[in-house]
Structure 1
């Protein structure tokens, strides 16, 4: 079988026989009903309540057993199972005659749709919800969930369609040499736990579950390569490359900079205060993207100014004297908010009233958020910068900057994620104090490729030359007005692409915290001129694959680092 490729999310090399975990959750019959009278409804509701509590207690117990970051993640999952809104949804469905198992399945579906529509960091939480739902349904139906095998005699490579955090938290490098999943992403809790536990891991590896159980596998958790039946020489080379990566990353310390001393601040993307510890651990110089949606989604009332202020201040205080870039609420028809009146039906929410456009329709939401940010900034020594998502025109940039000025926030920037903003970047920079390029949405709109549609993943590739052209235009427009221009998103986590971005004129890079050491090491091995030559070569290419190959030919230090 040929080598498979996925997304490496936890570095290291693991070798062992494949143990394929085959499990498909059952979907309760949509027509499943209970007897219909009050007694039956009460009994069904009690069954659902006991199952939810049993799963919540099990998640808590697992977290206590493992401790550390796993405990926080599993406690958060237990809170999901005990969510009062979820219980109310289950009760309404049961009272209408739905069986307990089906009611739980449908109630979770509402929350699942909210997170899936959000995409990115929040979308990665969908897998957590699915796992809790499936565990509760299994308890109601008297079935057991599959466990990760132990005591097999030798470390094995665990292969699965996906792994739940509850199972991942119990993995040990002494038992599991590595794991590979067909689904998942770099910001999911499963990936986070793999890194915390030190288990090499690859996710989004299509076709891996078709591997015959027992097949020897070589897994490289940094490159994302999965090699069935590797030779001894292949294993040796992989381990040598992993050692080189580890040594190279350990040697690169301090602020991000190129080999000739050009400063490139390396920042962390976070989804809330709980992500701060990882950012600090991996040497983030600040926060380049603080997603604030976690405060707003899945609640009946908007968060108060005081609640928001506390959440912002906790992050600001973690970076005294450093910079923290907060993205204002990015919501709309694709991420509906229960506390706002429903707007008109939008046949294509990605092109509808979202981001800064929503603020213009509901200025009270913006005013409260900006006031909370200003209050938090007044109590911290960190440098707060605020940016608006989905800005398309210079007029929108000026409108947002004026709103920030009125709130006492002097540094107002904009996300560059719509092609028009990149094309007219110099005009937006008249009022915008800085830019941050969101490559996922920019690719979606530039190549007409829905970011949620797996079949079009190739068009979402950040190496697409057309996307690199837009990044170059945005950086040039910013430079023309003397404004900084960063990239926030996992495209910046690719060490080779990070060098290319610097060569295109990008001034800072923000990514998930565990990716920072590799990017820091890659920049430290190359001069600014090498980065420029790599960028020129990538833009001259005619395909994403060619752009990557041409850029790497100008970045020899990547091979030395085993990247």
Structure 2
């Protein structure tokens, strides 16, 4: 294989740069032979496969406990716990048992059983298709254990390194040691992939969707520039120095403190996206002025029954207490056919991303789940100093919005809004804003739907672009409606974390930006460097 000498390009994450030697993810075991036959009886093979799955589940549960109890990363723990549930699914053992009874080895039976479920999820599309990588990771780990070799995972070289992988599985990213991992490069993935979100949240440079990344030889020195979206093998000292100087200059500009505002003093609130109480400390430390997106799914994922009203209220209170006097925007449960839960049976759909999800899942026989959550949020807010705002996802128009506002008001909630992530909601922004107290643009889904490009497909990563004029036009329509109605318009998608895009969004009429805490400093500095009129000029140019 010829050595790579030219820079590789992908989708950059963050604005930092790092240099170091390549360390590649340990390879997954090869596909087990379809013709090999076991030495022992079928029962023995079935038992070997079951033991391998138990070992994988134990290891993932151990990692989840470390993530939750030692690292305080509840979000990572929940992802791993969901994988444990997958590994313990009785239907997997049933499928493996059928295949070993037909004469397959434990390894091959594991491979074929997981492949069957993999195909089903891939065909479903949307969120379910994103779980394909989780299944692939579980299958690889179980096959490795059954084969008597180490599970695949992150390498552990003697010196700090640049991690290069096809993509990263949740089990790998949850305990990633960022004192040793200088940067991350993946061949697959897009700007909203698990790897990209992890890198952005934890402030490390990354480039994803890099064609040819796996051709980088072990130990090759590379320069990873998140701002430029490049991976340069054998960088010269001058190139390294220039990248580091740019990164340091960006770090210096990020020393601006205080609330978000433009150079001429127009306030743009800088808020944090959080996934549970474990994220509060980082948000406060980063100077977040509140929470623009509190994802409440952490209480529901991995549970076979819905959490009680009191359990929910206690968890919500833990977040609210972390932001006295500040806005905390809680999004109601974003689940449905694309994010299935055991207690929310909605059935299979040909295109779950366009199906019964978000608010749609709770208008009908499952409305009690929404009512319990709204009651719990109202109870949590009663004795807290934070200002609770509540919004619902997947709202299509003002009629959806009015229905949700009525439900929330009946539970005593005062400030009620809507997510704008469906193009029809942006096109009907003014009547929609007349029905609610505020809106928040979910740019990840809004971009997906506007450009008809599945955000989970790495091959379409270039279309997951919030800079696209069509997406910016939808944001502009919403911003204008917000100004006309005198109501808040926020952005809580990944676009809010882009310091280059922040002035454009402000110029389009956005009044708050919510992002991973690690992005707040740079976004604050970017806004402070532009007057509002300059922001509007940038917006006009971007719309062209």
Whether the TM-score (by the shorter chain) exceeds 0.5 is yes
Structure 1 equivalent of residue 146 of structure 2: 140
Equivalences for residues 524-539 of structure 1 within 5 A: 524-539=528-543
* Aligned counterpart, 1:68: 71
- Are residues 180 and 159 of structure 1, via their aligned partners in 2, closer, same or farther at CA, if it must alter by over 3 Å? same
Q: 1:466 to 1:300 in 2, by over 3 A?
A: same
Per-residue CA distance 1:42-79 (angstroms, 9 max, x = gap): 73465236523552476379769x95357x67765664
1:244 correspondence with 2:249:
yes
Match of 1:228 in 2: 233
Residue number among 196, 207, 210 corresponding to 1:202 in the alignment: 207
Are positions 1:323 and 2:295 aligned together? no
Q: List aligned pairs for 1:514-533, cutoff 5 A.
A: 514-533=518-537
Question: Cα distance 1:473–1:212, how it changes in 2: closer, same or farther (>3 A)?
Answer: same
Which residue number corresponds to residue 437 of structure 1?
Answer: 441
Structure 2 equivalent of residue 339 of structure 1 = 343
Question: What is the CA-CA distance between 1:347 and the residue it aligns to?
Answer: 3.2
Establish whether residue 288 from structure 1 lines up as the match of residue 261 from structure 2: no
Question: How far off its partner does 1:24 sit?
Answer: 3.4
The question of 1:262 aligning with 2:297 is answered: no
Match status 1:303 vs 2:313: no
Q: Matches of 1:106 and 1:53 in 2, distance apart? A: 17
Which stretch shifts more, 427-436 or 440-449? Answer: 440-449
C-alpha deviations, 1:488-528, integer Å up to 9, x for none?
11011111111100001111001122211111111111111
User: Aligned equivalents of 1:379 and 1:310: distance in 2?
Assistant: 11
Q: CA deviation at 1:35?
A: 10
Q: How does 1:3-42 map to 2 (within 5 A)?
A: 3-9=7-13, 12-21=16-25, 23-26=27-30, 40=44
- 1:86 and 2:91 aligned: no
Q: Within 5 A, what are the aligned runs for 1:363-382? A: 363-382=367-386
SS of the residue aligned with 2:478? helix
Partners of 2:217 and 2:353 lie apart in 1 by 41
For residues 151-166 of structure 1, the aligned pairs below 5 Å read 156-164=161-169
Report the 3-state secondary structure (helix = DSSP H, G, I; strand = E; otherwise coil) of the residue aligned with 2:434.
coil
Separation in 1, partners of 2:503, 2:206: 25
Q: How does 1:100-139 map to 2 (within 5 A)?
A: 102=109, 106=113, 130-139=136-145
Tell me, what secondary structure is at the counterpart of 2:447? Answer: helix
Structure 1 residues 27-36 or 358-367, which shifts more? 27-36
TM-score norm. by structure 1 comes to 0.82
* Structure 2 contact 26–153 (Cα < 8 Å) conserved: no
What is residue 468 of structure 2 aligned with on the other side?
464
Structure 1 equivalent of residue 359 of structure 2: 356
Higher alpha-carbon deviation: 384-393 or 4-13:
4-13
CA shift in 2, pair 1:457/1:166, >3 Å: closer
Q: Does 2:379 match 1:395?
A: no
Higher-RCO chain (CA-CA 8 Å, sequence separation at least 6) = 2
Work out whether residues 56 and 77 of structure 1, in 8 Å CA contact, stay in contact via their aligned partners in 2.
Answer: no
CA deviations 1:434-473 (Å, max 9, x no partner) are: 0111112222322333333333333331111111111111
Give secondary structure in 2 for the equivalent of 1:14. Answer: strand
Please state whether the residue corresponding to 1:333 is helix, strand or coil. coil
Q: What corresponds to 1:553 in structure 2?
A: none
Instruction: Report the equivalent of 2:491.
Output: 487
SS of the residue 1:159 aligns to: strand
1:228 Cα shift? 2.2
**Distance 1:54-1:307 versus aligned 2 partners, 3 A rule:** closer
> CA 1:470 to 1:412, structure 2 compared with 1: closer, same or farther past 3 Å?
same
Native 8 Å contact 1:394 1:427 kept in 2:
yes
Unaligned runs of 5+ in 1: 542-563
Q: 1:110 to 1:288 in 2, by over 3 A?
A: farther
Matched, 1:211 2:213: no
CA distance in 2, matches of 1:247, 1:25: 46
How far apart are the structure 1 equivalents of 2:92 and 2:308? 27
Give the deviation of 1:182 after TM superposition: 2.1
Instruction: Point out the more displaced range, 95-104 or 141-150.
Output: 95-104
**Partner in structure 2 of residue 405 of structure 1:** 409
TM-score (norm 2): 0.84
CA shift, 1:267, in A, is 0.9
Change (3 A) 1:356 1:247: same
User: Which blocks of at least 5 consecutive residues in structure 2 are unaligned?
Assistant: none
Q: Which moved more, 1:122-131 or 1:466-475?
A: 122-131
Per-residue CA distance 1:398-431 (angstroms, 9 max, x = gap): 1111111111112111111222221221111222
Q: CA deviation at 1:112?
A: 11
Alignment of 1:548-563 (within 5 A): none
Residue in structure 2 matched with residue 561 of structure 1 by the alignment? none
Distance in 1 of aligned mates of 2:190 and 2:285: 21
> Residue 47 of structure 1 contacts residue 100 of structure 1 at CA under 8 Å; is this kept in 2?
no
